[in-house]
Amino acid sequence: MTEHSGHSGYSEKDVQREVTELEGKSATAARIFDLRRIIGLLFVLYGLIVGITGLTDSDAAIEKAQGVNINLWTGLGMLLLGVFFLVWLKLRPTPPPTPHVLPEEQDSE
C-alpha cells in the first residue's frame, strides 16, 4: 500500500495520528462533563444555600413546619448526596474509551 493517498496529500500515518488526538480529546471531554460531577456540584451548592437558610430561619418559620427545621435537614441531605456523587466520581472515574483497531491492522500484527 502506498504511503500517500491519491488526492488528499495526507499519509495514513497523519490520518491515524489525527484520529488518535481526537479520541484523546473526546475522552477528556467525556471525563470533564461526567454527569456525576455536574449533579454532585449542584447538590453541594444548593445544599449549602438551603442549609445556611435553615441556620438563619426564624422561630416562626420553624413553627410553621411543625417544629422541624426543614431547611436545615434538607440542606444537609442535599449536601450529603452531592458529596456522595463526587466521592463516587473520584473512586470510579470514567474509563477511557478503548482504541478502535481496524481490520487491516489486525491482519498485520
Give the pLDDT of residue 46. 98
Determine the Cα angle at 30 with ends 29 and 31, to 5°: 90
Least Cα distance to 86 among 48, 14, 29, 38 occurs for 38
Average pLDDT value for the chain: 81
**Can you tell me the distance from the alpha carbon of 75 to that of 49, in angstroms, rounded to the nearest whole number?**
7
> In sequence order, which residues have a C-beta less than 8 Å from that of residue 28 and are 6 or more positions away?
none
The pLDDT tens digits of the residues spanning 51-105 come to: 999 999 999 999 999 999 999 999 999 999 999 999 999 998 877 666 666 556 5
The pLDDT tens digits of the residues spanning 18-58 come to: 777 776 666 666 666 788 899 999 999 999 999 999 999 99
